[in-house]
């Protein structure tokens, strides 16, 4: 009688637990999709295999909740960061540390603009200021541009004066050579 009763209870358990909860399957699929953010490949593979094992258990025995809990535990282990330094030794939680909460797919809003961090905002402002300055500098409106233009004007003036002086010296030299040649020509004419 006990064997019969055992078989009947086993059959009854199989019938009651064989119902597949599709929400749990969707949740597991979402967990598998978010695994790309995971840092530990071993845990990814383990969770992947455990998921398919869990689905096969549902098809045969129907005991899904236990394996789903195991999957979720492995998933959370996978997302935890490695403890560095003394964190592993001291069991005190930092009250200032903000724990990252995982969002469900329905909670993520893609329409809202992404919030920039302070460093990113400062970097963008710095780039915009640099672009503005270069625009004004090329237009000659900045103090440095005005000083550069004044320095260039002085250098241009000095070069023009040096070129004039060189031309005058060249003309004077040519005149001296011509005068010397004329004097020689006069001397040669007077000797004949």
Q: Is the pLDDT of residue 119 over 70?
A: yes
* Distance in angstroms (rounded) separating the CA atoms of residues 181 and 75: 105
| pLDDT, tens digit (0-9, with 9 covering 90-100), for 82-109 | 666 665 666 666 667 777 777 666 656 6
Alpha helices in the chain (DSSP H): 2-17, 22-33, 41-60, 65-79, 118-139, 143-191
172 in a structural domain: yes
Give the DSSP letter string of 168-183: HHHHHHHHHHHHHHHH
64 in a structural domain: yes
Mean pLDDT across 15-34: 53
25 in a structural domain: yes
Question: Which domain, by its residues, includes 58?
Answer: 2-79
Q: How confident is the model at residue 165 (pLDDT cuts 50, 70, 90)?
A: very high
158 in a structural domain: yes
Which of 30-34, 69-73, 139-143, 181-185 is most confident? 139-143
126 in a structural domain: no
Q: Do 75 and 9 belong to one domain? A: yes
35 in a structural domain: yes
Q: How confident is the model at residue 55, as a pLDDT?
A: 61
Tokens of 170: 């060249």
Total domain count for the chain? 2
* Domain-ending residue, one of 63, 79, 95: 79
The burial of 63, by beta-carbon neighbours within 10 Å (0-12 exposed, 13-18 middle, 19 or more buried), is given as middle
Lowest model confidence (mean pLDDT) among 31-40, 92-101, 108-117, 133-142: 31-40
* Distance in angstroms (rounded) separating the CA atoms of residues 75 and 43: 8
The percentage of residues in the chain with a pLDDT greater than 70, rounded to a whole number, is 41
110 in a structural domain: no
């Amino acid at each position: 009688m006990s064997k019969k009763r055992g078989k009947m209870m086993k059959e009854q358990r199989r019938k009651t637990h064989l119902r597949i909860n599709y929400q749990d399957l969707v949740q597991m699929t979402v967990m598998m999709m978010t695994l790309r953010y995971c840092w530990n490949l071993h845990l990814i593979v383990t969770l992947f295999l455990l998921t398919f094992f869990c689905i096969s258990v549902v098809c045969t025995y129907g005991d899904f909740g236990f394996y789903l809990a195991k999957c979720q535990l492995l998933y959370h282990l996978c997302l935890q960061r490695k403890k560095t330094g003394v964190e592993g030794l001291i069991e005190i939680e930092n009250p200032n540390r903000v724990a990252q909460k995982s969002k469900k797919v329905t909670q993520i809003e893609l329409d809202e603009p992404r919030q920039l961090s302070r460093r990113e905002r400062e970097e963008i402002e710095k780039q915009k200021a640099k672009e503005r300055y270069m625009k004004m500098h090329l237009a000659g409106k900045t103090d440095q541009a005005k000083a550069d233009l004044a320095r260039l004007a002085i250098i241009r003036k000095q070069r023009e004066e040096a070129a004039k002086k060189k031309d005058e010296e060249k003309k004077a030299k040519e005149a001296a050579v011509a005068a010397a040649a004329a004097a020689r020509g006069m001397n040669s004419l007077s000797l004949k």
